[in-house]
């Protein structure tokens, strides 16, 4: 069983390999390509810093990884592309392969067919976004030239075992840490940017007209589930292990099922987070491959994570059918209450200063000393200048940009609300999100560095300046 | 009543898209009892809230999004009996399926094979392959889940309308697909016939189902690996948020956004069929209530 890890920057190649990555995957969005994309994206990770912008940089990364016998795959896995883009994408695929990419991670049937028709000699890995759930589907994709199927989240180990047992000539890869999804990523067709994931919105449900037994508890549990899937992103435990979704307890079961590859994704998150996740997976996998019994492995994995509050909630487990392994002697997970979920959710929100972030080199430079509130951001700082331009343009459209402690909000008029305003959170400091504005509607965007304390300070300073007393 | 004098869409007298109604036996019976659907020879007539009279000439039944709702053999037998009684052909809607669900689905497909005019909406490439291999007499239709149209009720217009490439069309032709389901129409005329769903577009679906948690202890809620007693049946939740002008509708494991019915796009020549999802529109909000006039 091999570990496939997301790669976001060139500096990460050796650390990730030394921590146990057998394969790497990354995104490449060449600058020259962006204008031609229109409303399309090249892959499923849009966050600034999640993709390489330079093919030469990719070639360098591939060469360094190859020196350690580690192949690199590149993602071209958006749900679907406009047909007019396909010839350009095929050309890009050829360029990526020429730069050394060993495989391409793909979703769109049109692109798969076009790459094969073009005769590009490269392995194709079917992205989880393609939602291949069964052996007939795997055979369908094998017939058109797929070598590996990355399974969607939330298949159980039992379902995966049945799928693998069907004997379709493809390899299987599964998520084991980091990335959750409130829906099924391949079937979630809303636009995450700039409005945020729909599953994370603060909905007001209307049921009835008759009361529904147990509704309130169910709704609260569901909101906790969605919150847990979202908030851990970008945070790690005191042990340096990611707090997000996890399936390491099931590694033994997955290996026995016939899964050949496990994924440590999270290009949108910090290096520290991926390294922490990778080390956990490597350690547990070594136990599995050393022949330790599955139940022992699961129990030791829980102990290694040392976040019983999260593990016991069960809501962060990719493979909830495999939970019994983590509780030797128990056939069912222990009883969980809403209070347990609430406590788990609180665990996900450490104090801002405690949030581990990449060091200065990864954040784009050492953090500057805090500026006095109300001081105009330094136009010589590229991030400060871009934020300043965005905020001024927003203000001109009657939209406020506000810093609310741990998050950046856009506040805009909305007559339907009691206070006459609606808010959209555009960035939170507890995850390595980018800052962005309602670019779709306003033609504005800020595509800056991931949200580090340095950027947070710039934003806080900017908002202070915007709110300064004016003559 | 103004509706009586309206032309009836979907009839030989008024060439245009064929109308189909998506519903289970229970919903059809309820709509008939309420007068929203009136049985006629070869289907049901109804009047849309817009005043347009419509003749539904095909029945869509089965589950489109949730594998736990694949009909049992008995349920499917009831659907076929209803279709025979109303003299309408049937289309089996199928969801994305796991290995185990595909095996259950094969039983229903077997019951459907040999039924004249029967079709299968495949929302899983595995289903499409299975139908092609083992049930060649069934007409396969490419479902909405396989046509990745970006759609977001928070955006004024849809981000991508899901045009299909020549390569994809070639492949579909090889698999015997000549009709594709859609929630919204591509900007340009589609080279393949479309079946457009009304009055809701699905925007997100998944395995972590809110409604499945009803009646379960907290630790057992939202587990996709567990059998489901389908507490979602007959139930819908409206979800309100200021970012959405109209509430979203949660049915089964899927979020829907209202797209309404009617309007000029429906008259496009590439729209071969309009599918009114009556079982999604739980309160029949887009149908005129009460008895309708005979066309």
Q: What is the Cβ-side half-sphere exposure of residue A83, based on CA atoms within 13 angstroms? A: 14
Which range has highest mean pLDDT (A35-44, A45-54, A56-65)?
Answer: A56-65
pLDDT band at B245 (very low <50, low <70, confident <90, very high): confident
A221 touches chain B (CB under 8 A): yes
Q: Does residue A428 sit in helix, strand or coil?
A: strand
The pLDDT of residue A436 is 35
Token reading at A403? 């810093």
- Residue B100 phi, psi dihedral angles, 5° rounding: -70, -40
pLDDT band at A438 (very low <50, low <70, confident <90, very high): very low
Q: How far apart are CA B28 and CA B44, in angstroms?
A: 10
Token reading at B293? 């006039």
Place of tokens 């020429």: A98
Q: How far apart are CA A341 and CA A310, in angstroms?
A: 8
Q: How far apart are CA A230 and CA B256, in angstroms?
A: 22
A220 touches chain B (CB under 8 A): no
pLDDT band at B281 (very low <50, low <70, confident <90, very high): confident
What is A2-347's CATH topology?
A: TIM Barrel (3.20.20)
Question: Total structural domains in chain B?
Answer: 1
Q: How far apart are CA B271 and CA B189, in angstroms?
A: 9
Residue A203: list chain B partners with CB under 8 A.
239-241, 248
CB A248 within 8 A of CB A174: no
Place of tokens 């032709």: B173
Q: How far apart are CA A199 and CA B84, in angstroms?
A: 41
Q: What mean pLDDT do residues A255-278 have?
A: 90
Question: Quick one: what percent of chain A has pLDDT higher than 70?
Answer: 68
B159 touches chain A (CB under 8 A): yes
Rounded mean pLDDT of chain B?
A: 87
Q: How far apart are CA B168 and CA A112, in angstroms?
A: 9
CB A170 within 8 A of CB A146: yes
Which range has highest mean pLDDT (A352-361, A411-420, B146-155)?
Answer: B146-155
Q: What mean pLDDT do residues A338-349 have?
A: 77
Q: What mean pLDDT do residues A342-351 have?
A: 65
Q: For chain A, how are helix, strand and coil distributed in percent, rounded to 5?
A: 45, 15, 45
The pLDDT of residue A352 is 35
Q: What mean pLDDT do residues A14-22 have?
A: 95
Q: What mean pLDDT do residues A413-436 have?
A: 53
Residue B66 has pLDDT above 60, yes or no: yes
Q: What mean pLDDT do residues B11-17 have?
A: 61
The pLDDT of residue A459 is 63
CB A105 within 8 A of CB A150: yes
- C-alpha separations of A143 from A112, A113, A282, A438 in Å: 11, 11, 33, 42
Residue A152 has pLDDT above 50, yes or no: yes
More confident residue, B215 or B160: B215
Put simply, the answer to whether B162 touches A155 (Cβ < 8 Å) is no
Residue A313 has pLDDT above 70, yes or no: yes
Q: What mean pLDDT do residues A237-266 have?
A: 91
Residue A86: list chain B partners with CB under 8 A.
165, 167
Q: Does residue A2 sit in helix, strand or coil?
A: strand
Q: How far apart are CA B179 and CA A185, in angstroms?
A: 25
B78 touches chain A (CB under 8 A): no
CB B59 within 8 A of CB B25: no
Token reading at B114? 């040999």
Say which range, A331-345, B60-74, B242-256, has the weakest mean pLDDT: A331-345
The pLDDT of residue B74 is 92
Rounded mean pLDDT of chain A?
A: 79
Token reading at A416? 């339907």
Give the pLDDT confidence of A74-118 residue by residue, as tens digits.
999 998 888 888 999 999 999 999 999 999 999 999 999 999 999
The pLDDT of residue B170 is 94
> Which regions of A102-170 does DSSP assign to beta strands (E)?
103-106, 123-126, 148-150
Put simply, the answer to whether B242 touches A417 (Cβ < 8 Å) is yes
Q: Indicate whether B36 belongs to any domain.
A: yes
Residue A435 has pLDDT above 80, yes or no: no
- Residue A54 phi, psi dihedral angles, 5° rounding: -140, 125
Residue B143: list chain A partners with CB under 8 A.
none
The pLDDT of residue A321 is 82
Say which range, A363-372, B34-43, B62-71, B229-238, has the weakest mean pLDDT: A363-372
More confident residue, B45 or A459: B45
The pLDDT of residue B295 is 35
The residues, any chain, with a CB within 8 Å of residue B136's CB and separated by 6 or more, are B176
B218 touches chain A (CB under 8 A): yes
Q: Which of A354, A365, A356, A355 is nearest to A449 (CA)?
A: A365
Alpha helices in A191-337 (DSSP H): 192-195, 215-230, 251-257, 271-289, 294-305, 308-313, 323-326
Residue A189 has pLDDT above 70, yes or no: yes
Residue A241 has pLDDT above 70, yes or no: yes
The pLDDT of residue A69 is 97
- DSSP-derived secondary structure letter, B236: -
Torsion sign across C-alpha atoms A225, A429, A436, A43: negative
- Residue B161 phi, psi dihedral angles, 5° rounding: -100, 5
- Identify the burial level of A10 via C-beta atoms within 10 angstroms of its C-beta, where 0-12 means exposed, 13-18 middle and 19 or more buried: middle
**B residues 5-64 closer than 8 Å to A (CB):** none
Q: Which of B142, B104, B112, B139 is nearest to B124 (CA)?
A: B142
Q: How far apart are CA A101 and CA A90, in angstroms?
A: 14
Residue B217: list chain A partners with CB under 8 A.
335-336
* b/e per residue B135-155 (b: at least 16 CB within 10 A): beebbbbbbbbbbbbbbbbbb
The minimal CB distance from B96 to the residues A133, A181, A218 is found for A133
Residue B156: list chain A partners with CB under 8 A.
441
CB A257 within 8 A of CB A374: no
Report chain B's C-alpha Rg in angstroms. 18
CB B202 within 8 A of CB B254: yes
pLDDT band at B161 (very low <50, low <70, confident <90, very high): low
A338 touches chain B (CB under 8 A): yes
Residue A70 has pLDDT above 60, yes or no: yes
Give the pLDDT confidence of A173-188 residue by residue, as tens digits.
999 998 889 999 999 9
Q: What mean pLDDT do residues B187-210 have?
A: 91
Torsion sign across C-alpha atoms B249, B251, B253, B258: negative
Put simply, the answer to whether A162 touches B247 (Cβ < 8 Å) is no
Residue B6 has pLDDT above 60, yes or no: no
Question: Quick one: what percent of chain A has pLDDT higher than 90?
Answer: 43
The minimal CB distance from B99 to the residues A134, A186, A217 is found for A134
Q: How far apart are CA A108 and CA A103, in angstroms?
A: 15
**First vs last C-alpha separation in chain B:** 12
Tell me which H or E stretch contains B46: strand B43-47
- C-alpha separations of A400 from A394, A449, B266 in Å: 7, 21, 40
Q: What mean pLDDT do residues A232-257 have?
A: 84
Put simply, the answer to whether B150 touches A79 (Cβ < 8 Å) is yes
Tell me which H or E stretch contains B254: strand B254-258
The residues, any chain, with a CB within 8 Å of residue A471's CB and separated by 6 or more, are none
Q: Which of A468, A348, A457, A469 is nearest to A403 (CA)?
A: A457
Token reading at B241? 């948020």
Residue B219: list chain A partners with CB under 8 A.
314, 332-336
What is the domain extent for residue B191?
2-9+16-204+257-277
Say whether the peptide bond before residue B199 is cis (omega within 30 degrees of 0).
yes
Say which range, A138-142, A197-201, A280-284, has the weakest mean pLDDT: A197-201
Q: How far apart are CA A23 and CA A65, in angstroms?
A: 9
CB A217 within 8 A of CB B218: yes
pLDDT band at A307 (very low <50, low <70, confident <90, very high): confident
Put simply, the answer to whether A205 touches B155 (Cβ < 8 Å) is no
More confident residue, B116 or B283: B116
Token reading at B263? 């309007």
- C-alpha separations of A454 from A359, A368, A370 in Å: 11, 7, 9
Residue A45 has pLDDT above 90, yes or no: no
Tell me which H or E stretch contains A277: helix A271-289
* b/e per residue A61-92 (b: at least 16 CB within 10 A): bbeebeeeebbbbbbbbbbbbbbebbeebbeb
Residue A423 has pLDDT above 90, yes or no: no
Q: Indicate whether B147 belongs to any domain.
A: yes
The pLDDT of residue A278 is 94
The residues, any chain, with a CB within 8 Å of residue A354's CB and separated by 6 or more, are none
The pLDDT of residue B67 is 96
Q: How far apart are CA B43 and CA B88, in angstroms?
A: 6
A208 touches chain B (CB under 8 A): no
3-state secondary structure A165-200: HCCCCCEEEEECECCCCCCCHHHECCCHHHHCCHHH
A184 touches chain B (CB under 8 A): yes
**What CATH number is attached to the domain comprising B96?**
3.20.20
- DSSP-derived secondary structure letter, B47: E
């Amino acid at each position: 069983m091999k570990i496939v890890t997301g790669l976001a920057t060139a500096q990460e190649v050796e650390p990730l390999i030394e921590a146990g990555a057998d394969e790497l995957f990354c995104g490449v969005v060449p600058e020259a390509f962006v204008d031609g994309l229109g409303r399309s994206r090249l892959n499923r990770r849009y966050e600034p810093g999640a993709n390489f912008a330079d093919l030469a940089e990719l070639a360098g990364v591939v060469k360094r990884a190859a020196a350690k016998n580690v192949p690199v795959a590149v993602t071209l896995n958006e749900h679907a592309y406009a047909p007019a883009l396909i010839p350009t994408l095929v050309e890009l695929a050829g360029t990526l392969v020429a730069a050394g990419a060993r495989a391409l991670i793909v979703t769109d049937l049109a692109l798969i067919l076009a790459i094969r028709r073009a005769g590009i000699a490269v392995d194709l890995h079917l992205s989880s976004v393609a939602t291949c759930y069964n052996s007939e589907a795997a055979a369908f994709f094998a017939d058109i030239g797929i070598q590996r199927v990355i399974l969607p989240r939330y298949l159980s180990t039992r379902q995966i075992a049945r799928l693998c047992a069907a004997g379709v000539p493809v390899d299987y890869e599964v998520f084991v840490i980091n990335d959750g999804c409130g829906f099924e990523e391949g079937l979630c067709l809303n636009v995450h940017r700039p409005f945020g994931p729909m599953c994370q919105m603060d909905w007001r449900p209307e049921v009835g007209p008759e009361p529904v037994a147990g509704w309130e508890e169910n709704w609260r549990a569901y909101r906790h589930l969605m919150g847990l899937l979202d908030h851990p992103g970008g945070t790690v435990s005191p042990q340096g292990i990611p707090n997000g979704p996890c399936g390491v307890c099931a590694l033994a079961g997955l290996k026995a099922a016939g899964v050949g590859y496990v994924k440590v994704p999270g290009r949108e998150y910090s290096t520290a987070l991926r390294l922490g996740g990778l080390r956990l997976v490597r350690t547990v996998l070594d136990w599995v491959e050393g022949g330790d019994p599955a139940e022992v492995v699961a129990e030791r994995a829980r102990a290694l994570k040392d976040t019983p509050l999260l593990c016991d909630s069960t809501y962060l487990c990719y493979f909830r059918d495999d939970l019994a392994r983590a509780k030797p002697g128990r056939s069912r997970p222990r009883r969980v209450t809403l209070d347990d979920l609430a406590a788990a959710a609180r665990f996900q929100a450490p104090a801002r200063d405690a949030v581990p972030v990449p060091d200065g080199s990864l954040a784009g430079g050492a953090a500057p000393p805090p500026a006095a509130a109300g001081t105009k951001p330094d136009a010589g700082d590229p991030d400060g200048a871009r934020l300043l331009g965005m905020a001024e343009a927003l203000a001109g459209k009657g939209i406020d940009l506000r810093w609310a402690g741990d998050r950046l909000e856009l506040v805009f008029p909305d007559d339907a609300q009691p206070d006459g305003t609606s808010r959209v959170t555009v960035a939170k400091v507890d995850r390595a999100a980018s800052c962005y504005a309602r670019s779709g509607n306003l033609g504005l965007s800020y595509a800056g560095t991931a949200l580090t304390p340095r950027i947070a300070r710039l934003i806080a300073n900017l908002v202070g300046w915007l709110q300064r007393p004016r003559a | 009543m103004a509706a009586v004098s309206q032309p009836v869409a979907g009839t030989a007298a008024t060439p245009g898209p064929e109308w189909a109604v998506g519903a289970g036996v229970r919903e059809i019976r309820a709509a008939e009892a309420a007068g929203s659907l009136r049985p006629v020879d070869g289907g049901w007539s109804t009047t849309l809230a817009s005043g347009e009279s419509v003749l539904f000439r095909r029945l869509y039944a089965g589950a489109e999004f949730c594998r736990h709702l694949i009909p049992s053999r008995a349920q499917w037998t009831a659907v076929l009996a209803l279709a025979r009684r109303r003299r309408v052909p049937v289309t089996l809607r199928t969801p994305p399926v796991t290995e185990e669900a595909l095996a259950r689905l094969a039983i229903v497909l077997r019951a459907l094979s040999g039924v004249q005019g029967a079709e299968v909406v495949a929302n899983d490439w595995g289903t499409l392959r299975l139908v092609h291999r083992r049930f060649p007499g069934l007409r396969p239709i490419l479902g909405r889940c396989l046509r990745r149209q970006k759609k977001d009720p928070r955006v004024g217009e849809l981000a991508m309308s899901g045009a299909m490439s020549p390569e994809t069309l070639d492949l579909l032709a090889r698999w015997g697909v000549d009709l594709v389901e859609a929630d919204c129409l591509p900007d340009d005329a589609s080279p393949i016939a479309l079946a457009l769903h009304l009055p809701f577009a699905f925007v997100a679906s998944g395995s972590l189902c809110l409604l499945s948690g009803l009646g379960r202890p907290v630790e057992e809620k939202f587990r996709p690996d567990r059998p489901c007693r389908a507490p979602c049946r007959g139930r819908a939740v409206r979800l309100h948020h200021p970012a959405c002008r109209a509430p979203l509708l949660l049915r089964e494991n899927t979020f829907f956004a209202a797209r309404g019915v009617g309007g000029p796009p429906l008259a496009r020549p590439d729209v071969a069929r309009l599918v009114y999802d009556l079982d999604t529109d739980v309160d029949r909000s887009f149908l005129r209530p009460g008895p309708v006039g005979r066309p």
